[in-house]
Amino acid sequence: MRQDMGAKTARVIRNGEEVEIAVDEVEIGDIVFVRPGESIPVDGEVTDGYSVGGKIILLEHVRSDNPLLGKIMDLLDPLTVKMMGPHINRKTVENVKAAGLHIIEIVDQKPTILKLILASP
């Protein structure tokens, strides 16, 4: 028997206060708070992250370095934003650097539109 190991609840802001709700009640546009060691309860776009004295680990969807695939992603990006919300052409590495974080390691995943980014404050 397979057990679902995912989070059952999520912490979001409702009426100006942090509250815990069932995962299926999370709405598009909600800000979900995740503490160190917790599973991320829903799919979405990481817009900000902090970890006091710890490492920051991001698995991000980014624009392809392949010129042809990159152009195709450029064309599809506005459509995916309109239909689903998150961009598919993220500049996460540049944004991490611009935020003043120290990049420890970047590992290209398969497919190459995924990057594992390890950073520290």
Q: Reduce the DSSP state of residue 73 to 3 states and report it.
A: helix
Q: Reduce the DSSP state of residue 93 to 3 states and report it.
A: helix
- Alpha carbons 48 and 33: distance in angstroms, whole number: 10
- Asked if residue 11 lies in contact with residue 18, where contact means CB atoms within 8 angstroms, the answer is yes
CATH architecture of the domain formed by 1-44: Distorted Sandwich (2.70)
- Name the β-bridge partners of 62: 90
Task: Sketch the domain layout of the chain as residue ranges.
Answer: 1-44, 49-121
- Alpha carbons 22 and 60: distance in angstroms, whole number: 25
- Tell me the pLDDT tens digit for each residue of 70-79: 899 899 989 8
| Torsion from C-alpha of 43, 49, 51, 57, nearest 10 degrees | 60
- Tell me the pLDDT tens digit for each residue of 35-78: 766 777 777 766 666 655 677 778 777 888 889 988 998 999 89
Read off the pLDDT of each residue in 90-96 and give the average, rounded to a whole number: 80
- The reported pTM is 0.51
